Amino acid sequence: MAGRRFVGCRRFARRDHDTAARGPPRRGLEGWGTALAWFANVTGGWPAADRERLADLLYGPGGLGFTIARYNIGGGDAPETKPYLRTGAAVPGFWRRPMGATGNDWWRPDREEMWDWSADSAQRWWLDAIKARARAPIFEAFSNSPPWFMTISGKVSGAEKATDDNLRPGQEGLFAAYMARVVDELQRRHGIAFRTLSPVNEPNTDYWHAANTQEGAHWSPQRQAAMIVATAATLRARGLKTTISAPDETNSHVFLRDWAGYPAEARAAIGQLNVHSYGSLHQTGVRDVARASGIRLWMSENDTPLDKDPEDFDSLDSALAFAEHVVMDLKRLEPSAWVFWQAVEDLSTRNGAGGSNWGLIKADLRAEPSAAHPLHVTLKYWVMAQFSRHIRPGYRLAPVDDLDTVAALSPDGDELVLVHVNGGLSPRRLVTPPGWSGRMFLTDRVHRDAPIQGAIAPPRSVVTLVLRADARPGSQKPVRNERPRRMGAPG
């Protein structure tokens, strides 16, 4: 045995986790989820059996048990634009151009004939599927780009120059009206609630340009602030309870740059802070902004396959890299939610390419809707299960004395969940805190979130310890020995 890892915290022995927590009281974890862009735009049009199975894998009680979904409000290119966006990325917009309209100043949000509420039926199928599966689901709407006629370039992929803003000057109010009306209508038509709306995405970057293959738009911090204020005002004017989430920046370093550029009015309009974790620099800075502002923080987008790791559904290298990233996000950001990028990715080994290991599930997203749709459940899916199946909504992140371990306590304090990543080549004996005992679940090359005996993490593995507080002499509170029903393996 190479050595022992003490993965608990001795203060848990007293079960006084409230007074032991460092800093202000921690928010309960709201859950795990995924953005629906862009896989939902494809898979929502599959035959019922195929799309239902996929929804079960992600949101069903026998799957990952996701409870959060980020719905992409498409901007939409002009109908005459030659297709250029990547598979699934051409999310339809809800506008309708009247016959004979020319230029880009024809759209009027108060004219009903300029809206198309039949649009985006495939992604909208997922709203109903999630509502049917998840208990108390949380929906967020987000935009990657304004519609083409509100842009300077006339394309939803970005400005001609990647560092130029693409929203036409003075169009903030129209774009806000577009997003707010979509939120309002979809809530009513699908019987759901969008708790938040994110009007910009990875805004202060050089990712988005006209030759790009997905929707995107650059926004300077000043233009972001104007868009945030305009959208918040429009939501209020419509009587919606939906609040603003922002800035959905690509990493914490750029998030802090954006935040520094916001005036007080823009900061006050934000109900939720969103940050992506494509980079680990200054994550504790974002955490501190959230704490000081008293605003809920989400890690709202990430997928971390190992760089240059060729496509392999059972790649342990990418799975371990992903697990380590989740652990460190939770420890440094202390977010209220952790949301995957798109959980389903297209097969990527076409035409001799080595491919990559983005996604939790791989499928042929280019196949005809009526074709067979084999689903390739990857090892990353099972690593995700080590977190999402066991750390459930309402559990609170807790201090833990090991860099490779994240901990969470149940709302009643009687269950402690520890997820440990052993990326090394030797087994580790995990020493749990006094007064706790339970079971361990393992994912490695052979096991898939499988219950096993003992507390030894094999080499190159991810393990989850689900511990219950032991009965103590003189305790007035009974300790329930039964484990809540664990979610079974997906079919």
pLDDT > 90 in the chain, percent: 89
Q: pLDDT-derived band of residue 476, with 50, 70 and 90 as boundaries? A: very low
Closest CA to 147 of 228, 219, 76: 76
β-strand 436-443 against 461-469: which pairing, if any? antiparallel
480 pLDDT tier (thresholds 50, 70, 90): very low
pLDDT at 13: 33
What the block records as the tokens of 386 is: 């080590």
- Calculate the alpha carbon distances from 161 to 16, 158, 235, 362 in Å: 55, 8, 31, 33
Q: CA–CA separation, 466 vs 291, rounded Å? A: 29
Residue 485 burial (C-beta neighbours within 10 Å; 0-12, 13-18, 19+): exposed
Q: In which band, very low, low, confident or very high, does the pLDDT at 5 lie, cut at 50, 70 and 90?
A: confident
State the DSSP code for 479. Answer: P
Number of other CB atoms surrounding residue 483 within 10 Å: 12
- pLDDT of 376-399, one tens digit each? 999 999 999 999 999 999 999 999
- B/e letters for 410-429, b = 16+ CB within 10 Å, e = fewer, are beebbbbbbbbbbeeeebbe
Q: What is the pLDDT of residue 3?
A: 62
Q: Which residue has the tokens 């240059």?
A: 308
pLDDT tens-digit map of 137-196? 999 999 999 999 999 999 999 999 999 999 999 999 999 999 999 999 999 999 999 999
Neighbours of 103 (CB within 10 A): 6
Average pLDDT over residues 116-123: 98
Percent of the chain with pLDDT over 70: 91
Q: What is the pLDDT of residues 224-264, one digit of tens each?
A: 999 999 999 999 999 999 999 999 999 999 999 999 999 99
**pLDDT-wise least confident of 45-54, 303-312, 334-343, 475-484:** 475-484
The confidence score (pLDDT) of residue 10 equals 36
pTM of the model: 0.93
**Banded pLDDT at 22 (limits 50, 70, 90):** very low
Give the DSSP letter string of 251-307. Answer: SHHHHHHHHHT--HHHHHTEEEEEEE-SS-TTHHHHHHHHHHHT-EEEEEE---PPT
Distance CA 206, CA 110 (A): 34
| 428 has a pLDDT exceeding 80 | yes
